[in-house]
Amino acid sequence: MVLMQNLPEQTQINLTKLACPTFEAKPWVSEKPLSEQRVAMVSSAGLHLRDARRFAGGDGNYREIPGDTPAEDIMMSHVSVNYDRTGFQQDINAIFPLDRMAELATEGFIGSVADTHYSFMGATDPARMEDDARELGRRLKADGVDSAILLPV
Amino acid sequence: MSALAYYLEDEGIATTLISLLRLHTEKVEPPRALWVPFELGRPLGRPNDPDMQTTVLKAALTLLESKDGPVVLQDFEHAPETDPMEGWQSPVKTARADIDFSDAVAVKSALDVEIATVMPWHDGAAASSGRSVFGVSRMSPEQISQHLTSYLTETPDESPDDEFSSRMALRFGSDDLKVYYLEAAMAEMEKPSSAQLVGWFWRETVAGQLLITLRENALKGDDDKLKVVCGNFMVPGAKVAELDLYRP
């Protein structure tokens, strides 16, 4: 359904007007075969552990979500009310596919799944996330992670 | 999201992303992206559809092997969304009778009765699925009722915890109340569409009308921070338009 023309008129206007950053450089990391890559998930759904600090508006930090966290303990405190949350309420895999990623590693489609995943909260000026995002990139590198799949909401 | 891809890739991590909003992805040009035609909030498509989720994931992950970027933007084939269930009615029977929403005591009383009606459905749903994502406010439903209705008075309650302000507790309480009700409404095996669920909450519950009232009161008041919380983060823009709610 989510073709732009199916969204409410005001949402269309807001989304169309939203300022997007542009980048001169086009970084490109060539990786080894997928079946050898260690992959982390990075969500922008404002996810965090049940007891972790919740997301406030404009919060550019990320939260850690260990890969063995039970779905029951993954909460959402995203500021936006303009997207569906009933999918998340029914099935964590609809937005943060912990089970599917584990299956793909078992099957050998990817090499392995990272021990820890991460979530930012979208609807935040990307400039406010830059320092943390770059720090996360270095951290993933240090942890032996090759690649990340970025999951919006 | 696309900017995050840029920052991570620049630090040496290969990225692929699932894109729900093609317009933004085209503007920012992340290294690799799979555009999917799903509802906002469902990047992997339908909940409880493992085959679809795996198909989407594989398509997005496969882009990590592409050598000919940037930019790779691939379309995912159109997939069916949750169709509305004909004749669906919430199993939770609420009664939004004639309540004076300027009377905080009356509203709290009606909301408490409604919460007691919702509770067995919610708890049953949580028990059968083994999961509830209620709890972001760290208040019980009854405490949420107290905190939210206190904003119908001249003297709203203080924050119940030391992490955030009273206004933020209002936001988290509002989010949690929706979770509580919607999880209850999804108690039955067959799931209606998100539009049906959300429509029920906003049209048929005291809780929904309370949030609509808090929004309108705040927008007509002079507390700028409260205007932001209640005006932007309580009622979806789509519902403001559909129900023709107050607009300043």
pLDDT tens across B25-57, in order?
A: 888 889 999 999 888 999 999 899 999 999 999
Locate the chain B residue with the closest alpha carbon to A110: B61
pTM of the full predicted structure? 0.94
The minimum CA-CA distance between A66 and chain B, rounded to whole Å, is: 17
**Dihedrals phi, psi of A74, to nearest 5 degrees:** -105, 115
Q: State yes or no: pLDDT of A17 exceeds 90.
A: no
B54: nearest CB among A26, A94, A103 = A103
Range scoring the smallest mean pLDDT among A7-16, A143-152, B47-56, B207-216: A7-16
How many whole angstroms separate alpha carbon A3 and alpha carbon B33? 16
Locate the chain B residue with the closest alpha carbon to A124: B1
The minimum CA-CA distance between A82 and chain B, rounded to whole Å, is: 5
- The DSSP code for B44 is T
Locate the chain B residue with the closest alpha carbon to A145: B13
Question: Cis link prior to B71 (omega < 30° from 0)?
Answer: yes
Q: Which of A61, A35, A77, A78 is nearest to A118 (CA)?
A: A61
- The DSSP code for A45 is B
Q: How are the residues of chain B apportioned to helix, strand and coil, as percentages rounded to the nearest 5?
A: 50, 5, 40
What percent of chain A stands above pLDDT 70?
95
Locate the chain B residue with the closest alpha carbon to A43: B1
Locate the chain B residue with the closest alpha carbon to A126: B3
Six-digit token pair at A141?
A: 């590198």
Q: Is B100 exposed, middle or buried (0-12, 13-18, 19+ CB in 10 A)?
A: exposed
- The DSSP code for A124 is S
Q: Please list every residue in chain B whose beta carbon sits closer than 8 Å to the beta carbon of residue A149.
A: 15-18, 57, 60-61
Q: State yes or no: pLDDT of A1 exceeds 60.
A: no
Domain borders along chain A are 31-151
* CB-defined contacts A:B, below 8 A: 274
B232: number of Cβ within 10 Å:
17
Rounded to an integer, the average pLDDT of A124-128 is 87
How many whole angstroms separate alpha carbon B67 and alpha carbon B79? 28
Contact A41, A101 (CB under 8 A): yes
Helices (H), A78-142: 86-90, 98-107, 126-142
Q: For A42-93, write each residue's pLDDT tens digit.
A: 999 999 999 999 999 889 999 999 999 999 999 999 999 999 999 999 999 9
Six-digit token pair at A22?
A: 């542009």
Q: Please list every residue in chain A whose beta carbon sits closer than 8 Å to the beta carbon of residue B10.
A: 25, 27, 134, 137
CB-CB under 8 Å, A133 with B57: no
Query: A-contacting residues of B 52-111, CB under 8 Å?
Result: 53-54, 57-58, 60-62, 64-65, 67, 69-71, 81
Q: What is the dihedral of CA B17, A84, B183, B247, to 10 degrees?
A: 150
Q: Please list every residue in chain A whose beta carbon sits closer than 8 Å to the beta carbon of residue B190.
A: none
CA triplet A15, A16, A19: central angle to 5 degrees? 80
A15: nearest CB among B2, B23, B130 = B23
What are residue A64's DSSP bridge partners?
Answer: A118
- The DSSP code for A115 is S
Q: Which of B203, B148, B194, B199 is nearest to B173 (CA)?
A: B148
What are residue B18's DSSP bridge partners?
Answer: B34
- The pLDDT value given to residue B57: 96
What are residue A113's DSSP bridge partners?
Answer: A39
β-strands B72-75, A74-76: how paired? unpaired
CB-CB under 8 Å, B136 with A23: no
How many whole angstroms separate alpha carbon B94 and alpha carbon B68? 56
How many whole angstroms separate alpha carbon A90 and alpha carbon A23? 37
Rounded to an integer, the average pLDDT of A99-120 is 98
Range scoring the smallest mean pLDDT among A23-27, A37-41, A132-136: A23-27
> Which portions of chain B are predicted below pLDDT 70?
69-73, 77-82
How far is the first Cα of chain A from the last one, in angstroms, to the nearest whole number? 14
Confidence check on the interface: ipTM exceeds 0.85, yes or no: yes
Length of chain A measured in residues: 153
